[in-house]
Chains A and B, each alone.
Chain A
Amino acid sequence: MSVAVGPPLWLLFELTYRCPLQCVFCYNPVDFAATQNELPTADWLRVLREARALGSVQLGLSGGEPLVRDDVEVITHEAHRLGYYTNLITSGVGLTQQRIQELKRVGLDHIQLSFQDSTRELNDFLSHTRTFQLKQRCAEWIKSSGYPMVLNCVIHRLNIDHLDAIIDMASRLEADYLELANTQFYSWAHLNREHLLPSRAQLERAEAIVQAWRERLQGRMRILYVVPDYYEQRPKRCVNGWGSTFVTVTPDGTALPCHTAKMLPGLSFPNVRESSMREIWFESDAFNRFRGHGWMKEPCVSCPEKDKDLGGCRCQAYLLAQDPEAADPVCAKSPHHDVVVAAVERAQQSRAPEKPLVFRRPENSRYLAARDSANENLTPSQ
């Protein structure tokens, strides 16, 4: 079936997997430490030009921590010149007042600063770094440089009970936007799921707190709050549809339709070192693989909602049903929905998880990659 393919409006550069933080919910691949050969500056600049010609207009500079690279300014400058709206997505580590001024000068449009919690103790524990005070300073610098301040705090079982304090902190920092997205369960968050999936009672309290703050703030600070999709009855329209809007370029130049797609078996993803963005977007097998409906199975094929959610997330279908073509098991119609129900039921119990919390650090990445390749005939575990 042929599908009309629109422009890749959203381009995400994961400039590096290097990161001083070790967050337990990181969406970078579990085997990130195997990536050594980061793209050089000239390749990032070429990809910017090629993608802009196809209609890319939003650029995310992310990682890892993008600021560990010293060419963020050069890349931003070229992106601005080409007409991109440029978003720097950072933990704040590596940000200085001088660097903000330089980024502003070369045309950076927006800085999104992440926090892990409202308390120094939990922020520093979850990221395994002493970064809380640095982040507070960064927030002040961002604000005083005249940027709209967008704070992001990933929410999960370990910090959701601090939501009131987290919103209060953002409000005191005079944030314009606060993104409170519950962890979705991929990569490191999937490994740590039992530690991170909140209970229903936690989510209900959180919802009420967000609502109360929204009324109190009267739009002075906009709050985006996203619940974990495990608690939904229908899947999310993941990345607005495979190959419809998003392209992620990973540190080694692999182009992906979403930032976790590399985990999917049986797909060979193109690399910007070998293919142009035009070939990647329009012609590559990987980007065409889940466009349209042709790949779907039941219950998606006959589902009246298939155009709305497009069967949900391919990575979640693989992680939970071991089949990238299955309906996303979050869907109550999925024959594998019981896996999600079981995880949600476990989250209502107060017992301690059996496995320890795994931090996103290179030693753990290498250990897990070696373990997985030793077990490569086995399907992924729950």
Chain B
Amino acid sequence: MSAESRPAIRSGFRLQWEPVQNAYVMLYPEGMITLNTSAAEILRRCDGSHTVDEIVEELEVAFQHKGLKDDVAAFLDGAASQGWVHMVQP
């Protein structure tokens, strides 16, 4: 994945806020994963229009924390290999 890649949640997967769990969850056929805050904040921005660089930038502002690029890239690689996200061509 490059910095210009635009990750998007794959068809069949759904990111959703669950008030009872007080957490975002990823839903997919017959399954659910409860997400921690950082995973949720990354995935919320995987809308097919933000590039990876833009996601990193937004998160660095939101969390007032520099140097998130490697963490975000590693998370997105994992999410892609799990089939949660795919890269949309510009």
Contact = CB atoms under 8 A, between A and B. Distances in A.
B90 interface: no
User: Which interface class (under 10, 10 to 19, 20 to 34, 35 or more) fits A?
Assistant: 20 to 34
Given A57-B18, A219-B81, A222-B83, A148 B30 contact: no
B25 A57 contact: yes
A87 B28 CA distance: 9
B88 interface: no
23 contacts: A7-B20, A9-B32, A55-B18, A55-B21, A57-B27, A57-B32, A85-B14, A85-B16, A85-B32, A87-B29, A87-B30, A109-B14, A110-B12, A110-B30, A146-B11, A147-B12, A148-B28, A148-B29, A150-B29, A150-B30, A219-B81, A219-B83, A222-B83
Contacts of B27: 57-58, 85, 109
B67 interface: no
A362 B65 CA distance: 65
Contacts of B21: 7, 55
A148 B31 contact: no
A112 interface: yes
Contacts of A176: 12
Given A219-B81, A222-B83, A58 B18 contact: no
Contacts of A147: 12
A293 to B, nearest CB: 24
A210 B76 CA distance: 28
Contacts of B12: 109-110, 147-148, 176
Given A146-B11, A148-B11, A110 B29 contact: yes
Contacts of A146: 11
B18 A177 contact: no
Contacts of B31: 58
A60 interface: yes
A40 interface: no
Given A109-B14, A148-B12, A222-B83, A60 B30 contact: yes
Interface centre among B16, B18, B21, B30 (most CB of A within 10 A): B30
Contacts of B81: 219
Nearest to B12: A148
A83 interface: yes
A54 interface: yes
Contacts of B83: 219, 222
Contacts, number: 47
Nearest to A146: B11
A146 B10 CA distance: 11
Given A85-B28, A176-B12, 5 more contacts: A57-B27, A57-B32, A58-B31, A83-B16, A148-B28
Interface string A17-54: 00000000000000000000000000000000000001
A112 B30 contact: yes
A176 B31 CA distance: 15
Nearest to B16: A83
Nearest to A147: B12
A60 B30 CA distance: 8
Interface in B1-57: 11-12, 14, 16, 18, 20-21, 25, 27-32
Contacts of A112: 29-30
A358 to B, nearest CB: 29
A54 B11 CA distance: 27
Interface string A353-364: 000000000000
Interface string A304-347: 00000000000000000000000000000000000000000000
